[in-house]
């Protein structure tokens, strides 16, 4: 009986530990290398409030030409493609096969991309 309790307690403790780690290191952790989720610009523009904002309008000074002249809005469909493959996405969004972005492709596609978008909505 005592042994079962100890095992149950250990399992519960381990599960809490696991959930806590997941919350800190979600798939969006990858974006943090270059982006702040607050208002500060880093290697890339600040991402706070990005969902629903017009592209290239954060006040970031080092945008590529494609982002400077962007005329799309960061809705879920645009973000999904961008986070998966920004190199291809920028050509499609700009309507120019020669358009380039300074953000390397992140390959966060499918469920990973959706998890990141869900996170971006909270900042």
36, 42 Cβ separation under 8 angstroms: yes
**Smallest separation (angstroms) from ligand HEC to the CB of 79:** 6
58 near ligand HEC, judged by CB under 6 A: yes
Stretch in the footprint of ligand HEC (CB under 6 A) among 5-13, 18-26, 28-36, 91-99: 28-36
Kindly state whether residue 45 participates in binding ligand HEC, applying the rule CB under 6 A. yes
Rank residues 17 and 49 by Cβ distance to ligand HEC and give the closer one. Answer: 49
> Binding of ligand HEC at residue 122 (CB under 6 A)?
no
Sign of the CA dihedral running 73, 76, 78, 82? positive
Sign for the CA dihedral angle at 43, 46, 64, 81 comes to positive
Which of 17, 49, 52, 104 binds ligand HEC (CB under 6 A)? It is: 104
All residues at 6 or more sequence positions from 79 whose CB lies less than 8 Å from its CB, including other chains: 50, 51, 113, 116, 117, 120
- Given the complex with ligand HEC, which of 17 and 104 has the nearer CB atom? 104
For the purposes of burial, counting CB atoms within 10 Å of the CB of 55, is it exposed (0-12), middle (13-18) or buried (19 or more)? buried
CB atoms within 10 A of CB 110: 9
Binding region for ligand HEC (CB under 6 A): 30-31, 33-35, 43-45, 47, 50, 55-56, 58, 63-64, 66-67, 74, 82-83, 101-104, 106, 108, 116
């Amino acid at each position: 009986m005592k042994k079962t309790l100890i095992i149950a307690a250990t399992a519960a403790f381990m599960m809490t530990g696991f959930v806590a780690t997941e919350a800190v290191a979600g798939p969006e952790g990858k974006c943090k290398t270059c982006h702040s989720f607050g208002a500060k610009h880093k290697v890339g523009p600040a991402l706070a409030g990005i969902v629903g904002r017009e592209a290239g309008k954060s006040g970031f000074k080092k945008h590529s030409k494609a982002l400077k002249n962007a005329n799309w809005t960061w809705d879920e469909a645009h973000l999904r493609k961008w986070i998966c493959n920004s190199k291809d996405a920028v050509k499609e969004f700009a309507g120019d096969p020669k358009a380039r972005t300074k953000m390397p492709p992140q390959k966060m596609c499918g469920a990973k991309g959706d998890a990141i978008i869900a996170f971006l909505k909270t900042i």
